[in-house]
């Protein structure tokens, strides 16, 4: 009787575990394709000033809008680092994610300060990370694993100082605890170099990971736009390639690679479906073509170079231009056919036509835009939560050398402010849990979200009102950085972090006030016109 009861309880427990376990969330996917974030990386001799650059647009309908600075900490020997899995959560004012604890690992004795954006992005040692999901083969996902993308980025920033160290640590942790996520590309930069680290799971029921990393040449620029881009690899050239020990064997075991018939290509072995997405490939083409038009790349090509040498040195202005892009002036402009006659009877694109229409409007106007597997999508997106362009500058002390240029919401109507690696706080409005609360004037994200939504209603006219304010102000912020560096170096060490923190807070406060002001002006100036 007792044995029978134990068997019954065990069966109930197994059923409960089965029904409550969560596969990694796909709420931000469409048609089985992840088409969220874009990241661009630039080597140190390809930039205007010698900085190494990584970046990220957090294109999501659910990730959090708030952010904070997590200070460096000392931990006792029994401390643990908690691991979570995220899933869609719709019980708050707006769609968001919940994070449920699934395990823990030993904590280290000392962790570094880092900027805690939804995808943690920089630490106090100028280690910086961008991110883009590419999906990979479904059968590689394993619920036996514990570490997901956001937690791995945090672990890298808390524990490492260089990109190579971060990749080595990731290999060690993932072998032991496993990758509990779909295919991700992390673009990891330090003061000297930047790497693309692509990782997938080990297969159902297994613990571990399969990964590959390729360094962007110092004189090159690279991009990841939700599709795997690493192809042929040469592990004998350790200055440019690294990989997990199982990279070839697992592909051969599953019939994804036959060494007797073909050259190994990582992306076609482990993420072939990602190369089918036009939404990804068009972004790759656009980024590479904007920096190297001399290459005359084919916009319909299936594959592009992993990286290219820009025709000119890459400036911050150029990167802002790229991230604001929506194919205007190309045959792929979404709204090129939404026209109306002007006062002289000449047809022109309607001022109401905008590249940031919600999906229902795309269908209304017959626009092949959005998240369809074969549909177009622009670099700038209306559902961006925040965006970063991160400079790692070897010639400056870490606190001021690492700069996260941070924008809120749609980059096309936003502005980047500097948040320094050594800054210890952010403007209060950046820390508000906006999606939890719903619309609130206390939130930086809502200020820019409202502005973006308003501007899209009469895009042909309103965008110029926004640009009149933000374009010169953005130029001012970039130009002022040299003076900030100089003033920082003139201060005694105990005052330096406070100086950087105040600047980040002051500029954050300034741009949020501007966003509310511009938005209020649009309501007034365009009354009855949209």
Confirm if 403 and 478 have CB atoms less than 8 A apart.
no
User: Rounded distance, CA 85 to CA 97, Å?
Assistant: 10
Q: What is the pLDDT of residue 26?
A: 74
Q: What is the pLDDT of residue 370?
A: 57
Q: What is the pLDDT of residue 169?
A: 98
User: Rounded distance, CA 107 to CA 158, Å?
Assistant: 10
Q: What are phi and psi of 186, to 5 degrees?
A: -105, 125
For CA atoms 283, 287, 288, 289, the dihedral sign is positive
Q: What is the DSSP string of 204-216?
A: TT----EEEEEEP
Strands (DSSP E) found in 136-261: 183-189, 194-200, 210-215, 221-224, 241-243
CA 417 to chain centre: 17
Confirm if 107 and 79 have CB atoms less than 8 A apart.
yes
Nearest to 128 by CA among 408, 410, 419: 419
Confirm if 101 and 84 have CB atoms less than 8 A apart.
yes
Residues of the chain with pLDDT under 50: 1-22, 373-374
DSSP state at residue 47: B
- Contacts for 156 with CB less than 8 Å, ≥ 6 apart: 127, 129, 166, 169, 170, 186, 188
pLDDT digits (tens, 9 = 90+) for 139-191: 999 999 999 999 999 999 999 999 999 999 999 999 999 999 999 999 999 99
User: Rounded distance, CA 234 to CA 238, Å?
Assistant: 8
* Structure tokens belonging to residue 515: 């966003």
User: Rounded distance, CA 527 to CA 530, Å?
Assistant: 7
Q: What is the pLDDT of residue 5?
A: 42
User: Rounded distance, CA 371 to CA 283, Å?
Assistant: 13
State pTM to two decimals.
Answer: 0.94
The b-or-e profile of 495-506 (16+ CB within 10 A means b, else e) is ebbebbbebbbe
pLDDT digits (tens, 9 = 90+) for 254-265: 999 999 999 999
User: Rounded distance, CA 463 to CA 302, Å?
Assistant: 33
Confirm if 177 and 27 have CB atoms less than 8 A apart.
no
Would you kindly state where each structural domain of the chain is located, as residue ranges?
A: 37-71+114-325+379-395, 333-376, 430-529
Strands (DSSP E) found in 3-67: 29-30, 33-34, 39-42, 52-59
- Contacts for 212 with CB less than 8 Å, ≥ 6 apart: 197, 198, 230, 233, 241, 242, 243, 244, 247, 266
Nearest to 220 by CA among 37, 47, 394: 47
Query: Which residues, listed in sequence order, are joined to residue 47 by a DSSP beta bridge?
Result: 314
Q: What is the pLDDT of residue 21?
A: 39
Maximal CA-CA distance, the chain: 92
**Domain 37-71+114-325+379-395 in this protein, CATH class:** alpha beta
Nearest to 66 by CA among 122, 115, 124: 115
CA 286 to chain centre: 17
- Contacts for 214 with CB less than 8 Å, ≥ 6 apart: 195, 196, 230, 233, 240, 241, 306
Q: What is the pLDDT of residue 357?
A: 87
Confirm if 331 and 282 have CB atoms less than 8 A apart.
no
- Contacts for 258 with CB less than 8 Å, ≥ 6 apart: 252
CA 238 to chain centre: 26
User: Rounded distance, CA 351 to CA 461, Å?
Assistant: 6
Task: Please report how the helices 459-490 and 316-323 are oriented relative to each other, as an axis angle in degrees rounded to 10.
Answer: 150
Dihedral angle over CA of 38, 164, 151, 433, nearest 10:
-50
């Amino acid at each position: 009787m007792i044995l029978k009861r134990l068997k019954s309880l065990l069966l109930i427990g197994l059923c409960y575990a089965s029904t409550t376990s969560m596969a990694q969330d796909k709420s931000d996917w469409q048609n089985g394709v992840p088409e969220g974030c874009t990241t661009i990386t630039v080597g140190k001799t390809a930039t205007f000033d010698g900085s190494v650059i990584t970046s990220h647009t957090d294109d999501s309908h659910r990730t959090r809008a708030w952010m904070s600075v997590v200070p460096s900490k000392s931990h006792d020997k029994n401390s643990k680092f908690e691991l979570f899995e995220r899933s869609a959560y719709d019980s708050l004012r707006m769609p968001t994610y919940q994070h449920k604890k699934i395990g823990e690992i030993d904590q280290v004795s000392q962790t570094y300060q880092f900027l805690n954006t939804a995808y943690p992005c920089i630490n106090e040692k100028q280690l910086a990370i961008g991110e883009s999901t590419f999906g990979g083969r479904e059968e590689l996902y394993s619920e036996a694993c514990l570490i997901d993308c956001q937690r791995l980025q945090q672990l890298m920033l808390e524990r490492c100082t260089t990109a190579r160290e971060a990749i080595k640590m990731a290999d060690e942790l993932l072998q032991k605890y496993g990758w509990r996520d779909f295919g991700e590309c992390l673009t990891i930069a330090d003061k000297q170099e930047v790497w693309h680290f692509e990782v997938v799971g080990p297969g159902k029921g297994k613990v571990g990971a399969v990964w590959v990393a390729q360094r962007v040449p110092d004189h090159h620029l690279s991009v990841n736009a939700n599709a795997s881009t690493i192809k042929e690899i040469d592990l004998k050239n350790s200055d440019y390639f690294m990989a997990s020990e199982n990279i070839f064997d697992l592909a051969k075991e599953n019939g994804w690679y036959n060494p007797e018939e073909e050259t190994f290509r990582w992306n076609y072995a482990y993420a072939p479906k990602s190369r089918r997405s036009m939404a990804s490939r068009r972004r790759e083409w656009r980024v590479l073509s904007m920096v190297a038009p001399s290459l005359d790349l084919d916009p319909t090509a299936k594959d592009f170079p992993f990286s290219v040498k820009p025709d000119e040195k890459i400036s911050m202005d150029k990167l802002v231009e790229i991230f604001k892009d929506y194919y205007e002036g190309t045959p792929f402009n979404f709204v090129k056919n939404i026209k109306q006659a002007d006062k002289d009877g000449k047809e022109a694109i309607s001022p109401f036509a905008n590249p940031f229409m919600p999906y229902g409007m795309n269908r209304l106007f017959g626009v092949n835009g959005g998240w369809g597997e074969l549909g177009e999508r622009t670099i700038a997106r209306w559902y961006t939560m925040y965006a970063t362009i991160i400079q790692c500058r070897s010639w400056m002390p870490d606190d001021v050398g690492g700069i996260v240029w941070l924008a809120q919401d749609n980059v096309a109507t936003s502005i980047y402010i500097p948040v320094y690696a050594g800054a210890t706080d952010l403007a209060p409005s950046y820390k508000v849990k906006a999606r939890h609360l719903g619309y609130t004037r206390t939130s930086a994200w809502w200020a820019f979200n409202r502005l973006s939504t308003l501007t899209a209603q009469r895009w042909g006219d309103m965008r110029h009102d926004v640009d009149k304010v933000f374009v010169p102000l953005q130029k001012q912020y970039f130009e002022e950085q040299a003076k900030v560096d100089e003033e920082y170096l003139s201060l005694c060490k105990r005052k330096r972090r406070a100086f950087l923190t105040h600047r980040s807070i002051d500029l954050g406060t300034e741009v949020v006030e501007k966003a509310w002001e511009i938005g209020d002006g649009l309501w007034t100036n365009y009354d009855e016109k949209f």
